[in-house]
Chains A and B, each alone.
Chain A
Amino acid sequence: MSGISRRKFLAASVAAGAATTLAGPKKALAVGSFSGYPDSMGVLVDLTRCIGCRSCEAACNKEQQLPDPNLPFDDMSVFDQTFHHGTQKRRTDESAYTVVNRYKPEGRDPIYRKVQCNHCAEPACLSSCFVNAYTKTKEGAVIYNGSVCVGCRNCMIACPFNVPAYSYSSAFGPVIKKCIFCYDTRLKDGKPPACVEICPQEALTFGKRKDLLKIGHQRIQTHPGRYIDRIYGEKELGGTHWMYLSPIPVEEVGFDPRPGNEPIISHVKDFLGVVPMVLAIWPALFTGFHLLAKNQEGHDDHEHETGHQQGSGQKHDDEGGQQ
């Protein structure tokens, strides 16, 4: 009798395991196929237009009420700054959510590239955050809730663009800091971010992401020779909401030329998809095993008392001791 129930139990366990294996990838596929909110906004950055005036940095500083800069925003000596033995140009930090860097391709005028959060359609920072501090809004911004951030810095590692920065200066409660597309003060009211509004050259074009793609392709088409035939961010990493038109191959202005078109989450979704299954199934599974084992002991006692089946020697000893 106990043999039959054990067989039934094991069969059920196998079925549950099979269900886990089958259901896992199916759910994970759904996660990776998000094509973006329909009317979400974006910015098209045209590197052929930027003159490196750094007004966007100043506007960001004012709008986000960031600390005073070390050097004035019209001081162009910052373009000569390098870090880590000259291997790295300026990057965003807790006091600057955007920075402009200068590149000097051989045989042509310098090219300036603004760096800020690219507001991915499927953000790796969001996927990596275990306290759900990040949100992708329907307007297109990737925002975060600093009050729940525990400072683990997973998002800094996850971000393919090295954007999230850490408030190292804060002794108590350091958190992540990054560009939020001016969501709180502008984007949610339909206004362009401060950097876009200040730009004297319209190097930054604000609009619906789908319209920006049309505009970008039109610019490439109507200005032969001016751009390479690529909108960086159209497809890269599942698509970003800040996209770039460049006159030269993107690796020459500091981009990863082949980040792949899959969002970062696709690389981990198969594994991550199984985690909830493990959490849901394993407690039940092992509780079942435990109960079965326990039940077995119950049978032993019962059967020993009724005299139908022999129990273990240990059991006899115990019972003998009790009597």
Chain B
Amino acid sequence: MNAKQILTTLMMVLALIVVGSTAMAADMPEQVSLDTMVELFDAVEFDHEMHTELGEDCSVCHHHTTGTGTTDDRCISCHANSDELATVACVNCHVIDPFSSEQLSQKSQEIYRFHIDKPGLKAAYHWNCIGCHEEMDGPTGCEDCHARTPEGDAFYHKDATGHADEGSNH
């Protein structure tokens, strides 16, 4: 590798860092509406800006996709220096329908896939939110984050007023 090649590489890396950081700053949303699966519960208006101030770095939630490296022992061997991805929204990796027949057949066709146990979007949200909230005394009840819809009330049989019948369980 001669001096010119080294210089070119360095320039490219520098350019990537600059582009990456400006893109990150420009694209980072203040508020994210988590509304892709609204049915039983209303959308969650997620205060992204507030959470970025709490988190030590982006990788706590965004893993290796924001170009900020990762500290997770399980990820570091492949993703210590991963570049920022074009899209970093949760839904870009965590699908809404992880168990649909399309997803499952795609999964079984990709026999060299390493990430065979990637959670769907709903689980990715809940693990991230509840896990952190438990540690930091944030809200953890269902309706602390999203209000239940009338469909949700019917689904959980809100109006059931009977009492537990001790004798019914044989």
Contacts of B29 in A (CB 8 A): none
Q: Mark out the residues of chain A between 166 and 193 whose CB falls within 8 Å of any chain B CB in the assembled complex.
A: 166, 168, 189-192
Contacts of B120 in A (CB 8 A): 202
**Nearest residue in A to B126 (C-beta to C-beta)?**
A200
Contacts of B164 in A (CB 8 A): 70-71, 77-78, 81
Please tell me the size bucket of the interface on B.
20 to 34
**Quick check: B116 and A215 within 8 Å, CB to CB?**
yes
Contacts of A62 in B (CB 8 A): 155
**Quick check: A211 and B107 within 8 Å, CB to CB?**
yes
Q: Mark out the residues of chain A between 63 and 111 whose CB falls within 8 Å of any chain B CB in the assembled complex.
A: 68-75, 77-78, 81, 83, 88, 90-91, 93
A53-B142, A211-B108, A215-B117 known; A90 vs B160 contact (CB < 8 Å): no
**Quick check: B166 and A83 within 8 Å, CB to CB?**
yes
Partner of A70, one of B104, B116, B162, B170: B162
**Quick check: A68 and B117 within 8 Å, CB to CB?**
no
Instruction: State how many angstroms separate the Cβ of B81 from the closest Cβ of chain A.
Output: 21
Task: Count residues of A near B (Cβ-Cβ below 8 Å).
Answer: 47
Contacts of A68 in B (CB 8 A): 157, 160
Contacts of B156 in A (CB 8 A): 55, 58, 72-74
Q: Mark out the residues of chain B between 141 and 167 whose CB falls within 8 Å of any chain A CB in the assembled complex.
A: 142, 155-160, 162-166
**Does B14 interact with chain A (Cβ within 8 Å)?**
no
**Quick check: B165 and A218 within 8 Å, CB to CB?**
no
Partner of A191, one of B101, B130, B158, B168: B101
A62-B155, A211-B108, A222-B74 known; A93 vs B168 contact (CB < 8 Å): yes
Residues of A within 8 A of B (CB): 49, 51, 53, 55, 58-59, 61-62, 68-75, 77-78, 81, 83, 88, 90-91, 93, 165-166, 168, 189-192, 196-197, 199-202, 205-208, 211, 214-215, 218-219, 222
Residues of B within 8 A of A (CB): 74, 98-101, 104, 107-108, 116-117, 119-120, 122-123, 126-127, 130, 142, 155-160, 162-166, 168-170
